[in-house]
Amino acid sequence: MDGVAVSEETTALKMVMDQLANLTQSSNDLRGLIVSQSDKLDNCLKSIETLEQDNLEIHGKIASLENKLQVSLEPYGNIYQDINMHMNRARNIIVCGLEETEENDQETIKIMVQNITHPEIVSVKNVSWLGKPQTNRIRPLKVALASPDEAVSVLKNKLKISKNTFPNVKIKNDVTPLQQQELKQLYSELNDRRSKG
């Protein structure tokens, strides 16, 4: 019996030793996996630091480029504003020399515009006097039409205004302050050239 008990104890001890060897191997495998993951994590952290530095450099470069772009576009800022204003004014015309009355100015303008163009083409949306009323000066009248094409049609036919009905009326396009300044310079240059012969 003693031999059988020793054999069972030896078998049990061998099983425990095998389990202990397996646990040791698993522990070593886990340690290796932890070391490998730790190395990968260290590499990721280094990559993140590098990306953060690159990100800061890129933000600095973008800020520098934005400043350079803003400085380089400053002289053209007025031109961009002028273009935008011109697009907003494209459907307007300015009527000069029309006496202010208590009557409906919009109806008077409709009659005048329809006499020089086809009535179905032009649609007057709004009229408004420009500037403050003065006794010694006739204010210009801004007329908003439905589209820029209608404004062009009226401007093309502006010489057809009946001088009997509207003797002092002139129609002009609605120009921006920058365009007014340029036109004034051009007229001044034209007058200088005419005076020189």
Residue 83 in tokens:
């273009």
Q: How far apart are the C-alpha atoms of 183 and 81, rounded to whole Å?
A: 18
Q: 45-65, pLDDT tens digit by residue?
A: 999 999 999 999 999 999 988
- What are 138-195's pLDDT values in tens digits? 888 888 888 888 888 888 888 888 788 778 888 888 887 778 888 889 989 999 999 9
58 burial class (0-12, 13-18, 19+ CB within 10 angstroms)? exposed
